[in-house]
Amino acid sequence: MNLSQALQNPIFREISKLADLKKQKTYVIGGFVRDFLLERNNPKDIDVVTEGSGIDLAEALSLELSPKPKVSFFKRFGTAMIKLKDYDLEFVGARKESYSPDSRKPFIEEGTLEDDQNRRDFTINALAISLNQEDYGALIDPFDGLQDLRNKILRTPLNPDITYSDDPLRMIRAIRFATQLNFEIEKNSFQSIINNAHRFDIISKERIADEFNKILMSPQPSIGLKLLYEAELLQRFLPELTNLQGIEEIEGQKHKDNFFHTLEVVDNISKYTDHLWLRWAALLHDIGKAPTKRFDKKIGWTFHSHEFVGSKMVVTIFKRLKLPLGEPLKYVQKLVKFSSRPISLVTDDASDSALRRLLFDMGDELEDLFLLCNADITTKNKKKQEKFKKNFDYVERKIKEVEDKDKVRNFQPPITGNIIMDNYEIQEGKQIGIIKEKIKEAILEGIIKNDYESSFQYMKELAKNLNLKQK
């Protein structure tokens, strides 16, 4: 492949010209080079490293462009960012780093390209392309990163024990890259991750969650989840999940390994959705099974109320990993809580009221719940697969029939508190809540229709029983 193709955009020639004027050796490095060589989608993020001031080079480039783009400075890190229409350019001075044992924040000194490549996490991210006029477009590859790209290998430029101990975030980044690129982590490097797993605890939970979300959003998340488990990292930040691992046997009765079952569920759902929080719901749908596991001599292994227990555990996990506590948390909790509800409605005698309640409870998340339920089918028995899928299709059809008839999805009560106060001598308070709740229950139970007239008449009956005076 002709590397000059990577630098066809005129912006690179402009940087080259300015670097030459400033007598600063300058290179494109890292992800842009890697992804170009892998022929991945046009990489947007471009890292430019220069032997000198990256901030000065960025400012000089900004002055040459029209319209003049804004330069964002991060002086603490010696970096500058320019956002263009098709690219995000980040400029940084070449540097070398040293670390203290209790922090992943390095002590930084000015350095050469060689110093900068030495500090990179993996050989495939240390690849650089020259922007210098004397060797424009030349590949600088001191660690055989190009060969590692061809062999689909992740390897550290220097001793992996130093690389991972210095900055333990690189351990989860290795697993993230292995998952996204479908690469193998070199044997010594992976063993070093295991050896340095204890260093993982100094990383902020926000950084862990950011890398973990990228693993979860990869085409086959189980690759990374298994590697995290084997490297003994997953149990350090998500023990609720690893607690599901293992099979117990009592009196000849076993239960399935709920950890590896969960990984299959996540892979299954990832074929059909890029919704991060739906993938999280698949990941956590069975976490309540570890604390609720019991053996009953009559019926075998049970996990009573694991969905309810699991939905409560979601809060703890989100707080620990600094994940958003607003709508994403509520969404994941809801799906975990109701993850087994549809299967209970498979029978022909499942009442319309039960179907209405599922519609009422799930609202706009109903389709996502059925996507989760279908992903939860991991049996390898073809006949059982077909049976389970037919069961869920059956429930979906029944729910659609009820919804077409009763319109209770995203239910809005036909009778509001204002309507009650307009008709009776009553102030806003407990009694109004009682009346509205009873009307809602009557609709869900099929006692009255979901319309204003039926609800108004029912309100009058309730008011009479409560001895309310009409206005």
Which residues does residue 130 pair with via DSSP β-bridges, in sequence order?
27
Going by C-alpha positions, the residue among 91, 168, 172, 173 that lies closest to residue 124 is 173
φ/ψ (deg, to 5) at 229: -70, -50
Query: What pLDDT score does 86 carry?
Result: 80
CB 262 within 8 A of CB 238: no
User: Residue 427 in 3-state DSSP?
Assistant: coil
Structural domain spans, the chain = 3-148, 152-237, 417-465
User: Residue 81 in 3-state DSSP?
Assistant: strand
Residue with tokens 């293992």: 246
User: Residue 130 in 3-state DSSP?
Assistant: strand
State how far the Cα of 416 lies from the Cα of 178, in Å rounded to an integer: 55
Residue with tokens 């996507």: 371
Query: What pLDDT score does 46 carry?
Result: 92
Q: Is the pLDDT of residue 274 over 60?
A: yes
Angstrom CA distances, 104 to 199, 207, 362, 380, stand at 10, 12, 43, 45
Half-sphere exposure of 352 (CA within 13 A, CB side): 17
> Tens digits of per-residue pLDDT, 179-195?
999 999 999 999 999 99
Query: What pLDDT score does 152 carry?
Result: 97
Query: What pLDDT score does 65 carry?
Result: 86
Residue with tokens 């900055």: 167
> Tens digits of per-residue pLDDT, 205-231?
999 999 999 999 999 999 999 999 999
> Tens digits of per-residue pLDDT, 88-116?
999 999 887 655 666 656 666 788 999 99
CB 159 within 8 A of CB 143: no
Query: What pLDDT score does 356 carry?
Result: 78
Residue with tokens 């930040």: 237
State how far the Cα of 433 lies from the Cα of 417, in Å rounded to an integer: 8
CA dihedral 171, 175, 176, 182 (to 10 degrees): 150
CB 94 within 8 A of CB 48: no
State how far the Cα of 396 lies from the Cα of 373, in Å rounded to an integer: 11
Of the CATH numbers 3.10.150.10, 3.30.70.890, 1.10.110.30, 1.10.10.10, which one belongs to the domain with range 152-237?
A: 1.10.110.30
- What are the residue ranges of helices labelled H in 293-365? 306-320, 327-337, 352-362
> Tens digits of per-residue pLDDT, 420-463?
888 887 877 788 888 888 888 888 888 888 888 888 888 888 88
Half-sphere exposure of 264 (CA within 13 A, CB side): 14
Region of 465 on the Ramachandran plot (φ > 0 left; ψ -120 to 50 alpha; else beta)? alpha
Going by C-alpha positions, the residue among 366, 388, 391 that lies closest to residue 378 is 388
Token pair recorded at residue 178: 């292995």
3-state DSSP helix/strand/coil % of the chain, to nearest 5: 55, 10, 35
Query: What pLDDT score does 405 carry?
Result: 67
Contacts for 418 with CB less than 8 Å, ≥ 6 apart: none
Which residues does residue 89 pair with via DSSP β-bridges, in sequence order?
46, 82
Query: What pLDDT score does 157 carry?
Result: 94
On average, the pLDDT of the chain sits at: 87
Contacts for 206 with CB less than 8 Å, ≥ 6 apart: 321, 322
By the 10 Å C-beta count (0-12 exposed, 13-18 middle, 19+ buried), 29 is classed as buried
Which range among 36-50, 53-67, 94-108, 432-446 shows the weakest confidence by mean pLDDT?
A: 94-108
- CA 230 to chain centroid, in Å, comes to 20
Query: What pLDDT score does 249 carry?
Result: 64
- CB count in 10 Å sphere of residue 466: 13
Going by C-alpha positions, the residue among 446, 462, 266 that lies closest to residue 359 is 446
Q: Which position has the higher pLDDT, 387 or 125?
A: 125
| Beta-strand pair 79-83/71-74 | antiparallel
**pTM for the predicted model, two decimal places:** 0.83
DSSP 8-state class, residue 29 = E
Q: Is the pLDDT of residue 122 over 70?
A: yes
Residue with tokens 């220097």: 158
Region of 420 on the Ramachandran plot (φ > 0 left; ψ -120 to 50 alpha; else beta)? alpha
State how far the Cα of 345 lies from the Cα of 395, in Å rounded to an integer: 6
Residue with tokens 């390994």: 257
CATH fold of the domain at 3-148 = Beta Polymerase; domain 2 (3.30.460)
